Homo-oligomer: A and B are copies of this chain.
């Protein structure tokens, strides 16, 4: 393999996978999906479908112990905590859907996987709106820069962390994915693990808005369309 893509099954990582498959041969790209106790584990099946559609050369799911992230108060994980509805808050600071240092763990695990399959690159789809207002500090350019150094140094200079969406908005990503025929219809973004996307949680609202801004229709089904 030449490259790894961290594939959640969502829209951003799907566009990342398309970019990796364009830079390398699709069959030289390996998809890595990580289950971490998230309520919306449904996205894992979406990841698999995307990997199949793109013809990735390798695909693995790693099932992490729930113990790693449970009990820190994340609404994406903890049973007693409700996922909030409505858009991401405008004010700066922690969001309840932050999973403690999740992306540090994901990038580290992807690095071990990259070394195992002799890949030289890891694609990771954090984008500028994830980083906005310190919502997800483990998506900021500062965090990613630090991890890029750690990955490069910590692998005997063999593996690089690549973040092609780092400076793009959700709307930019939808535009790019549309131009490159990303299989948006296979993706899953909703934080709630329902039958259809809820249309009312922050990630649904952000996604719907990004399609609307581009004059496009989101091809997945929604229960309701929330206010963006």
Q: How far is the CA of A91 from the CA of B105 in the complex (A)?
A: 31
Q: A103-B154, A154-B101 are in contact. Are A68 and B134 (CB under 8 A)?
A: no
**A94 adjacent to chain B (CB < 8 Å):** yes
Whether the Cβ atoms of B101 and A151 lie closer than 8 Å is yes
- Within A134-156, the residues touching B (CB, 8 Å) are 134, 137-138, 140, 142-143, 145-147, 149-151, 153-156
**A108 adjacent to chain B (CB < 8 Å):** yes
Q: A100-B115, A101-B111 are in contact. Are A150 and B156 (CB under 8 A)?
A: no
Number of identical protomers: 2
Whether the Cβ atoms of B153 and A143 lie closer than 8 Å is yes
Q: How far is the CB of A167 from chain B (nearest CB, A)?
A: 17
Q: How far is the CA of A103 from the CA of B116 in the complex (A)?
A: 16
Within 8 Å by CB of A62, from B68, B103, B140, B142, lies B68
Residues of chain B within 8 A (CB-CB) of A72 are 112, 115-116
Q: How far is the CB of A126 from chain B (nearest CB, A)?
A: 11
**A181 adjacent to chain B (CB < 8 Å):** no
Residues of chain B within 8 A (CB-CB) of A108 are 101, 104-105, 107-108
Residues of chain B within 8 A (CB-CB) of A155 are 100-101, 137
Q: How far is the CB of A203 from chain B (nearest CB, A)?
A: 20
Residues of chain B within 8 A (CB-CB) of A149 are 142-143, 145-146, 149
